[in-house]
Structure 1
Amino acid sequence: MDRGEITFEDILHKYNHELHANEIVLLSYYIASINIEAVFDEVNGPERGYQPFEGIVLTDTFESTERENSFADELLGENNERLKKQQEQPITAIISNPPYSVGQKNANDDNQNLRYEALEASIQNTYVKNSNSNLSKGVYDSYIKAFRWATDRIGNKGIISFITNSGYIDKGSLDGFRKNIFNEFNYVYVLNLRGAIKGKSGDVARKEGGNIFDILTGVAITVLVKDGSDNHKIYYHDVGNYLTKSNKLKIISNLGSVENAEWETILPDENNDWINQRDPNYQKYVSIVGEYKSPFLSNAPGVSTNRDIWVSGFSKEKTIKNTEYMVGNYNEAVKNKRSNEPEIDDTKIKWTVNLNKMYKNSQNINVNRNNVTLEMYRPFTKKWLYYDKQVIERPGQFYSKWGENNLVLVTTGRGVRNNFSTLVTNEIPCMDLLEKTQGFIRYNNSDQGISLLIDNGNVSQQFADELGLSLDDTFAYIYGLLNSKEYQEKYANDLKKDLARIPVVKNKEQYVEIGKKLMDLHLNYEEVPVFDNVSIERKSNPSYEVKKMKFAKVRNSETGKLENDRSTIIFNTDITIRDIPEKAYEYVVNGKSAIEWIMDQYQIKTNKKSGITDNPNDFSNDPKYIFNLLLRIINVSVQTVDLIDSLPKLEII
């Protein structure tokens, strides 16, 4: 207006007839209304008088197009009139910070998501229909719904500007969303503000930098333009690595407009990936499972209890008692049931979907102490698990296929945040052993006891014949290959988005040899000699009980800040381990060094909801078990780094 490009009458008309706002929370509704009116009052000036804003509606935006009336129409007739006026108006620009809600964390949370049939049907016919992923849950979270709602609302021409979770940029399950956004809009601008540290650790997390909203999920600003042209272009700008929150806010302020960013033009690939695009040659190799010539006949996700603190722990006896206590409370609840909705008390029962079903069916649970077994809970961390279908939410295929003795090669699953990882174990794997753990067992023992003549191998003889190797050597070959640094770096984008593919390489005998050595090291880590090239400071008659290990601190001479000194671990108040080689931290499993997994897991923790304390000192009768384990894992790490470095150059045949 100061430049003479628009008049006050233009602004007044916009304010009275073309500016609309929705808010579902009453207090926020009033705050938004006051803020809008206050800004207009500055333009309006005192001589014209205060003018209320009548374009705001107390409504659920998604619901507002599901039916004619607002949910508040019975209380506020004027509100309903405003909604009808809004519904009749063409909308050409939508600006929002949509809410985020992908669903309940567990059955104890009373936050069931609302259903919007018309909107979800639109999502089904677009984002889900055009997706190659079998994982569609995330497509129905609120911020994705907001994109779909806004796209449908503006029609053939208009602009959408959102600040949202940034997951849609690269998530495998949102490939259909990206495809539709590219096809439905003429110009797409994405400013990736990063800050996605959830599920990440180490340098991978540090690269994300600070979060502008101080949350764990990444943030992006998206501007979508429909102008009716035949153009379809994506412009992308990554704010950069290691930036603080204030750095990022300053960058946004300095940019001021989409015109001022240094945009990278993105051309989606055949997978509808925008960034971190996959290697097209990689798809030529056979998948680790699921194809005719795949090396494994079947796979299974790790065991997901959905109530770890109740049925898993370092102490075998306490794990049984915790299970018995929860089951006893559950059976008592069934006995005294008055309705199909149980009373929620986190100190007595962890309710889940399956347990709720059993409750509705008045089904009792019996505890059998013989159902306790060891599991590989986290890398190089064993716990006791009460493994029974009635109390384990997703017991998985290991329940029937594991048998008494087995091996499983585990990898990270599809759509992971951290870089690819693999591990081998002879214990049942937890779902969170690695991120979204996928397990490939050596033997399928589901028919064990029926006939000793049945071939129970889970490794494909056909793939082994193609390699010219035995079944055991084929298993070792795969483990050696998956540990190859060159393989992991070359196919990093593919390995984050899908299960591994297994090429045939030259020098396969060396991969077998090193794979076997890695297997021996990782399976028998509790017998590996302690690393003796460290300095250990002990008080006289030291305690070997651990509460929480930590790194010593050293002051950075440049920044003046205290930082972790990874060469020194304070085991407890009596023992300090010094001169740990930096090389040992190069062995990273699931985003964290193996040493740091020991430090993270072997600490006394009390669960806030249940009140249960899990004490790692209860695991072994040997008081020095954890102390020696830490020294063994330092040795395991150094040897693993040496073995991986000795793998031959990756030459694919």
Structure 2
Amino acid sequence: MSRSKTVFPTKSKTDEAAIFKIFSVGIVTSRDEWLYDFDRQQLAKKVQFFCDFYEQEKVRWNKSNNKKVINDFVDRKIKWTSELEEHLLKNSSLEFNPDFIVTSTWRPFTKKYLYLAKIIVHRLYQQEQIFPIGKDNVAICLTIHKQVPFVVIATNCICDNGIGSRLSQILTLYYYDENGNRQDNITDWSLEKFQTYYNNKKIKKLDIFHYTYAVLHHPTYRQKYEQNLKREFPRVPFYENFQQWVKWGKKLIDLHINYETIIPITKSNAILQRHFKNQIFTKI
């Protein structure tokens, strides 16, 4: 790895002195067994039952004398949380809508169908800004925790909070405002820093996104900052040969997102294997 200079954070809560403007933890359903499934039709059946049963309990509650504590009243055939019980008390409706079934990244290289609706999902956090239904985006999912190895994985769909077996943070290329308009999530501040350091006004925000992904995956970087990556957000150094890092990051993101269509590396395709070794993380 080439010598690095200047390190700055990937995210900031207070201003734009970071690479990414907004970030979010992954989605928390608190009822994965009801809201996730590998089979779309099976998921639809489960959620339909859940919604119907909730509505039945709402009717039963409204017909009762309401003297019981709601926690003691509801039938536990479905997974209740305090928030869902509050919705029942507010007489909120829960109606199944097949348009709310989306593809999600549940674990690294593991996609599942997810039913994405406010009342039934326990915590959406800022996922509606970064992965609203029907909108495109690309995300870098990070798991930073002392109990598990540092996890970095790219995805183009909404992410579960447990993608790396502990709380995860999601950094995206874009976000969407309240009117549904796409906005750059790479800050102008970081663009100016990169263009100035490399003396190249042609550097784009997408290049910075790819560069960041390559750096976070480089074995030498991860070894050098191993202890930091167990307790704090990554800080990204400037390395020489910026465009080479951009190419590596772009290639890795393509591999990690489109893994289901990538040709496996086997003894029978030695040419591809040699090409992979030459292109990904050659020492510079």
Question: Which range, TM-score by smaller chain?
Answer: 0.7 to 0.9
Structure 2 counterpart of 1:312: 36
Structure 1 counterpart of 2:282: 646
Structure 1 counterpart of 2:213: 479
- CA drift at 1:645: 3.7
Q: Does the aligned pair in 2 maintain the 1:375–1:383 contact within 8 Å? A: yes
Distance 1:309 1:366 in 2: 19
Q: Does the aligned pair in 1 maintain the 2:140–2:155 contact within 8 Å? A: yes
* Pairing 1:288–2:15 present: no
Distance 1:311 1:439 in 2: 20
Structure 1 residues 221-262: Cα deviation after superposition (integer angstroms, max 9, x where no partner): xxxxxxxxxxxxxxxxxxxxxxxxxxxxxxxxxxxxxxxxxx
Distance 1:358 1:497 in 2: 36
Structure 1 counterpart of 2:199: none
Aligned pair partner of 1:386 in 115, 120, 132: 115
1:355 counterpart letter in structure 2: L
Identify if the C-alpha distance between structure 1 residues 345 and 333 changes in structure 2 by more than 3 Å, giving closer, same or farther.
Answer: closer
Q: Does the aligned pair in 1 maintain the 2:16–2:189 contact within 8 Å? A: no
Q: Does the aligned pair in 2 maintain the 1:401–1:446 contact within 8 Å? A: no
Structure 2 counterpart of 1:405: 136
Q: Does the aligned pair in 1 maintain the 2:130–2:137 contact within 8 Å? A: no
Structure 1 counterpart of 2:200: none
* Pairing 1:419–2:149 present: yes
> What is the SS of the residue equivalent to 1:359?
helix
> What is the SS of the residue equivalent to 1:319?
helix
Structure 1 residues 496-518: Cα deviation after superposition (integer angstroms, max 9, x where no partner): 10111122222222211111111
Aligned length: 259
Aligned pair partner of 1:329 in 49, 53, 64: 53
1:294 counterpart letter in structure 2: A
- CA drift at 1:299: 0.4
Identify if the C-alpha distance between structure 1 residues 639 and 300 changes in structure 2 by more than 3 Å, giving closer, same or farther.
Answer: farther
Structure 1 counterpart of 2:3: none
CA RMSD of aligned residues (A): 2.5
Structure 2 counterpart of 1:506: 240
- CA drift at 1:643: 5.2
Structure 1 counterpart of 2:105: 376
1:193-204 equivalence runs, <5 A: none
Identify if the C-alpha distance between structure 1 residues 639 and 321 changes in structure 2 by more than 3 Å, giving closer, same or farther.
Answer: farther
- CA drift at 1:640: 7.5
- CA drift at 1:448: 5.0
Which runs of no fewer than 5 residues in structure 2 stay unpaired? 1-5, 196-202
Identify if the C-alpha distance between structure 1 residues 311 and 641 changes in structure 2 by more than 3 Å, giving closer, same or farther.
Answer: farther
Structure 1 residues 431-450: Cα deviation after superposition (integer angstroms, max 9, x where no partner): 11123111011111234546
Identify if the C-alpha distance between structure 1 residues 446 and 318 changes in structure 2 by more than 3 Å, giving closer, same or farther.
Answer: farther
Distance 1:471 1:482 in 2: 17
Q: Does the aligned pair in 1 maintain the 2:40–2:113 contact within 8 Å? A: yes
2:215 counterpart letter in structure 1: L
Return 397-406 or 428-437, whichever deviates more: 397-406
1:73-88 equivalence runs, <5 A: none
* Pairing 1:441–2:172 present: yes
Q: Does the aligned pair in 1 maintain the 2:21–2:187 contact within 8 Å? A: yes
Identify if the C-alpha distance between structure 1 residues 508 and 350 changes in structure 2 by more than 3 Å, giving closer, same or farther.
Answer: same
1:321-360 equivalence runs, <5 A: 321-337=45-61, 338=66, 339=68, 340-343=70-73, 345-346=75-76, 348-360=77-89
Identify if the C-alpha distance between structure 1 residues 644 and 530 changes in structure 2 by more than 3 Å, giving closer, same or farther.
Answer: closer
Distance 1:647 1:349 in 2: 54
1:140-155 equivalence runs, <5 A: none
- Aligned residues with identical type, % of pairs: 25
Q: Does the aligned pair in 1 maintain the 2:143–2:168 contact within 8 Å? A: yes
Q: Does the aligned pair in 1 maintain the 2:248–2:281 contact within 8 Å? A: no
Distance 1:639 1:526 in 2: 20
Structure 2 counterpart of 1:457: 184
Structure 2 counterpart of 1:362: 91
2:26 counterpart letter in structure 1: G
Distance 2:129 2:185 in 1: 14
The list of structure 1 runs, each at least 4 consecutive aligned residues, that deviate by more than 6 angstroms after superposition, is 638-642
> What is the SS of the residue equivalent to 2:125?
coil
Q: Does the aligned pair in 1 maintain the 2:131–2:157 contact within 8 Å? A: no
> What is the SS of the residue equivalent to 1:504?
strand
Q: Which has the higher contact order (CA 8 A, sep 6+)?
A: 2
Distance 2:226 2:125 in 1: 28
